[in-house]
Amino acid sequence: MIGVFDSGSGGLTILDALHKRLPDQDFLYLGDHANAPYGHRGSDQIVTLTRNAVDTLMQAGCRLVIIACNTAASVALRTLQQTWLPTAYPERRILGVLVPMVEAMTGVPWSQEHPEEHPGAGKREDRTIALFATRKTVESGAYVEEVCKRAPHLKLIQKACPGLVDAIEGGAGTRPMNGLVDGFVAEMLDAAGGAPDAALLGCTHFPLVENAFRAALPATTELYSQPDIVAASLAAYLDRHPEFRETGTGEIQLLTTGRPADVTAASAYLPDHLSRFESAARLKD
């Protein structure tokens, strides 16, 4: 069983893609709705909340956990991998959504931090990429740092989107949602001085309103699909590390730290089987 963690319902976009890519794999999803959103929290809080959630999933039997939250992955993943996991669960692994996206944007494997080390690196074109994310992901600078290491010729324009996660989790209607997205895209285009070559929705909630971003962005701007890229990356990881692949029945369990009845709004954007949450408290019964 593979665990998938998000601060709320955004990680369901990743879970849906993982399930489609690995239909025989069992998944246990945990949304920390009681403490969502993470975008305005301090870094120490995010590390603590993420560690607690990963610990919950591992206690439930998950040997591999995907942090399907850009904010948690940007702020907490490396700390947990280096300082907590080796002692708490040395034979288990935590992966995040940031690594596959950096690889997709730069064309450079994560293990190679300098483009000159990668065959054909000099042939890549200069590109401008817009990153739409939470304020905390932007402030962490994680995407800019890792992209710059591997592809300094790329220009990454970050645009924080405060309030958008809250609107999605709260089930805001089409008109106010489109208004928010239109405003963020307009501000990004003004800062970029024109249409970017590509855009990344760097919060797993944002693909739930991908149509709004696609409508607001110039038609020439490529839109990276984080769910599909992360799913392909996990499949490749399991091929390299078959010890973490466990053939199951394709069962999906959804848990929340909040009240199950209160977390249906964002789930309405997804198939019905991704909207039936149970309380995470049952794991302690």
The catalytic site residues sit at 69, 203
List Cα–Cα distances, 185 to 133, 139, 178, 208, in angstroms. 12, 19, 10, 16
| Torsional sign, CA 279, 43, 171, 8 | negative
SS3 assignment, position 11: coil
Tell me which long-range contacts 139-147 makes (C-beta under 8 A, separation of at least 24): 140/43, 140/71, 140/74, 140/75, 142/73, 142/74, 142/75, 142/98, 143/74, 143/98, 143/101, 143/102, 143/200, 143/202, 146/98, 146/102, 147/102, 147/105, 147/106
Nearest to 153 by CA among 218, 186, 197, 189: 197
Give the separation between CA 195 and CA 263, rounded to whole angstroms: 36
- Tell me which residue has tokens 């959103």: 37
Give the separation between CA 43 and CA 140, rounded to whole angstroms: 9
Nearest to 34 by CA among 21, 49, 24: 49
Nearest to 68 by CA among 37, 114, 30: 30
Nearest to 103 by CA among 18, 280, 230: 230
SS3 assignment, position 93: strand
Paired tokens of 36 = 């969502």
